[in-house]
Amino acid sequence: MNASQVPTLALTLGDVAGIGPEITARTLLEHDELRAACRPVVIGDADALRKAVGVIGGDPAAVRVLGSPAEATNDPRTIEVVQDGPSLGDVPYGELSPKAGDAAARFVISACALAREGAVDGIVTAPLNKAAMHAGGHPWPGHTELLAHEFGVDNFSLVLSAGELYFFHLTTHVSLRDAIAGVTPQRTGNVLRLVGAFARALGRADEPIGVAGLNPHAGENRLFGNEDADILAPAIEQARAQGINAVGPLPADALIPAAVRGNWRLVIVCYHDQGHAPFKAVYGDDGVNITVGLPVVRVSVDHGTAFDIAGKGVAREASLVLATRRAAELAPGWHQVWETARSATAS
């Protein structure tokens, strides 16, 4: 990407039975200010977008099909889309559809291919439905794991972000039983190095990293489990010996409220709901999902497909607008994040 240019972002449409097409249409037709920061190109289906434009009261003729992202004009009166696969205009709203699930995964796979080719500088993802994706033949736990597979990376983390606050996850879309088993010394050390690399890339090498305990009260001196003392604490000590300013394990019910109050900016949580539940309760549409550990920036909305309101024209686009803006901000310097993280993982 030329320094004088804005980044080209691939916006994947998500599951067309959900609110992805609606929020994409609103984002691109009602937020002209984004065009000064990026060149958005939808990877998805033109007919699903035309239907969604009609739902929000717009002109379906605003949807323009491109042969490649290089053809994008960035006209704020249009939604420019690279068609991926057959038309999905007949997929009904609000119903789980293997056809839509297959397409949602394909949109992401195509966006990754464009990123590998250098045709786009970042990826922004609208929500997909995991059950529909599985029914469509793509058995990934979620976006994050699919993206990691497409880019061939092993060390990555789902990161929830609001403003300057980042919640990294040791485990994500697995059962609680599997999450406990997944908190291993190797995984903890890898994520600590990933966070340390991310902090250095942001110019915050000395930023403290708060690590939430797995068990209540971080184990309370082994009264409530041994994992904090036997797995997390040694990994933190090893990270500190490597120059990473890790602190913990700390009781999650103390660490997370302190982070919300601004006392921590980098936090590691052990499992999905330990991070997602408090984060969404506090930040709602003001949060986004970033995948750290990929060679290109990927930012996503922090909500699901909302089948219950799909097609009604009431879905809020705030999180997708924020995700697009954050991707545009991060894309120009993401090579530094990637190179720093890759070198840290290699060590």
Q: What global pTM score does this model have? A: 0.87
Residue 302's pLDDT is what? 80
Note down pLDDT in tens along the chain; length 347 residues: 544 489 999 999 999 999 999 999 999 999 999 999 999 999 999 999 999 999 999 999 999 999 999 999 999 999 999 999 999 999 999 999 999 999 999 999 999 999 999 999 999 999 999 999 999 999 998 888 999 999 998 888 889 999 899 999 999 889 999 999 999 999 999 999 989 988 888 888 899 999 999 999 999 999 999 999 999 999 999 999 999 999 999 999 999 999 999 999 999 999 999 999 999 999 987 888 898 889 999 999 988 999 999 999 999 999 999 999 999 998 988 887 788 767 666 55
**Domains of the chain: residue spans and CATH:** 1-152+294-315 (3.40.718.10), 164-286 (3.40.718.10)
Residue 268's pLDDT is what? 98
Residue 141's pLDDT is what? 86
Q: Six-digit token pair at 20?
A: 């992805």
Residue 3's pLDDT is what? 44
Other C-beta atoms within 10 Å of 224: how many? 15
Residue 1's pLDDT is what? 54
231 near 182, Cβ under 8 Å?
no
Residue 338's pLDDT is what? 83
Q: Which residues contact 120 (CB under 8 A, 6 or more apart)?
A: 8, 9, 10, 41, 69, 111, 114, 296
Q: Which residues contact 52 (CB under 8 A, 6 or more apart)?
A: 21, 22, 24, 25
Q: How far apart are CA 84 and CA 45, in angstroms?
A: 6
